[in-house]
Each structure stands twice: as C-alpha cells, then as structure tokens.
Amino acid sequence: MTNNDIFKKLRVAHKLTNTDIVAICKLVDFKVTESELGAFFRAEGHEKYRNCGDQILRNFLNGLVIHLRGPMPDKRIAKKSDK
C-alpha cells in the first residue's frame, strides 16, 4: 500500500475535501495547495500523478490528530509560589 493509497483512504473515511486537507495541514504550519493534492489523488498512470512523500503524509497525519483531538495541552507544571 502506497502513501497515496493511505492518503486517499483517510480522505474518504473522514469525508474530507481538498479545502479541509489544506486547512488541516496549516494546523502544523505545512503549506500544500489544492492542485498538489489533486495530483496525489489521481490514478497512478495519469500524466499529472505525483507520489505522496513521507513528509507530506506525516504532516497531514499530525494535523489530522490536532483537527480531531484539539491542540496538545501545555505540559509545563506551574511552580507553587511561597508567600
């Protein structure tokens, strides 16, 4: 299974549009355009087909986690001030 297949299946499973995916990638400061996404979702033999690299899929997955769960809470422990 290729990264393109995984990306396609996640898009369908979560009912995401290309606009949604662009917004999800922005959550992790990763820029991707709708036309780039179209190239990932084309048939493998198509002239405009493009392989989805690990970095693109990784950033999408990180953004999807934030999209679904919300941002990670701050884990710093506040120090008690002595009065």
Q: Where are the domains of the chain?
A: 3-69
Rounded average pLDDT over 10-27: 96
User: Residue 17: which pLDDT band, with cuts at 50, 70 and 90?
Assistant: very high
Q: What's the confidence (pLDDT) of residue 77?
A: 63
Rounded average pLDDT over 43-69: 94
Q: What is the tens place of the pLDDT at every residue in 19-43?
A: 999 999 999 999 999 999 999 999 9
Whole-angstrom distance, CA of residue 67 vs CA of residue 23? 9
Backbone angles phi, psi at 45, to 5 degrees: -85, -5
Whole-angstrom distance, CA of residue 18 vs CA of residue 39? 11
pTM exceeds 0.95, yes or no: no
Q: What's the confidence (pLDDT) of residue 73?
A: 75
Whole-angstrom distance, CA of residue 61 vs CA of residue 46? 25
